[in-house]
Amino acid sequence: MDINNPQNYEAEHVHRVYELIASHFSATRFKPWPIVEGFLKGLPIGSIGLDLGCGNGKYLTVNENVFMIGSDRSTALVQIAHDLKTQDSLIADTLELPHPDSRFDFAISIAVIHHFSTTARRIASIRSILATLKPSSNSETNGGKALIYVWALEQPNSKRGWKEGDPQDVMVPWQTSEGYSGVKGGSGKLSKGDKVVTYQRYYHLYREGELVQDIVAAGGIVLESGYERDNWWAICAPPHR
């Protein structure tokens, strides 16, 4: 894929699309992934963290005993997240976060960094996430940690059937009806007779080992990593200081 200006490319093929499909997208997103749920529920009471690329905010309420600030580039999605009341949300870009360094106990980035269109920008986004976390000491117990979750190239059981060796930079269609107005909690399913509109979103599909490699390139320490339902995930910490 030849991308001359990745910022403009992402504005067109990621940000604009989410803005247009926000309500429909949100209606299809309410079940948390088990790894994410486990990570959030395991946090001590009073932990303070970030959900970077929070979308409709479905993870903000998984654990009511921690305080989370969700952020997303899409105003339409943040407006949906903001209705949740118990946590907070704002509009921000993961590469230019409005947060002081080294203050947070945790951060999650779920299905976000695969939308950055170059390796350098994906690594820069991980570096930006790590910078927000409390530095870890050698004991690795008192520092902040981040959970990063990305779409996998290896998806043998998905209907898309991507596998090792396939192209990693792809456009993935999102089908919605013309003038869809999703009611929160609705099914988000299209009904018969709807005029279908297809939007294309850019994704970088991560191959096995690539997420860990990018975290190391960003200076992070990988604590745990694995594969869950067509996604690669890793829990990481900032470098020792």
Partner 1 sequence: MKILTTNYISCAVKACKSTSLSFPLHFQDAVLVQEEVDFKPEFITNILPRIEWEALKITAVELGFTTLPAQKPEATEEAPLDPQVLKDLHTLLLETQVTEGKLVCANCKHVYNIHQGIANFLLPNHLALPLIMITNF
Contact set with partner 1 (CB under 8 A): 5-7, 44-48, 65, 67, 69, 71, 73, 75, 78-79, 82, 85-86, 88-93, 95-101, 103-105, 118, 120-121, 124
- State the nearest-atom distance from the C-beta of 166 to partner 1, in Å: 25
- Asked if 236 and 148 touch (Cβ cutoff 8 Å), the reply is yes
Please tell me the distance from the alpha carbon of residue 24 to that of residue 218, in angstroms, as a whole number: 34
- State the nearest-atom distance from the C-beta of 157 to partner 1, in Å: 35
46 or 179: whose CB is closer to partner 1? Answer: 46
95 or 221: whose CB is closer to partner 1? Answer: 95
- Asked if 202 and 115 touch (Cβ cutoff 8 Å), the reply is yes
Reading the block at residue 186, the tokens are 């609705």
11 or 172: whose CB is closer to partner 1? Answer: 11
134 or 176: whose CB is closer to partner 1? Answer: 134
Other C-beta atoms closer than 10 Å to the C-beta of 25 total 24
Reading the block at residue 227, the tokens are 């594969």
- State the nearest-atom distance from the C-beta of 3 to partner 1, in Å: 10
Local structure of 115: helix, strand or coil = helix
- Asked if 236 and 216 touch (Cβ cutoff 8 Å), the reply is no
Please tell me the distance from the alpha carbon of residue 161 to that of residue 154, in angstroms, as a whole number: 8
- State the nearest-atom distance from the C-beta of 81 to partner 1, in Å: 9
Local structure of 221: helix, strand or coil = strand
Please tell me the distance from the alpha carbon of residue 205 to that of residue 202, in angstroms, as a whole number: 10
- State the nearest-atom distance from the C-beta of 96 to partner 1, in Å: 5
- State the nearest-atom distance from the C-beta of 93 to partner 1, in Å: 6
User: Considering Cα of 77, then 79, then 80, then 86, what sign does the dihedral take?
Assistant: positive
58 or 73: whose CB is closer to partner 1? Answer: 73
At residue 191's C-alpha, the angle toward residues 188 and 197, to 5°, is 75
129 or 153: whose CB is closer to partner 1? Answer: 129
- Which of these, 73, 238, 212, 226, lies nearest to 145 by C-alpha position? 238
- State the nearest-atom distance from the C-beta of 65 to partner 1, in Å: 6
88 or 194: whose CB is closer to partner 1? Answer: 88
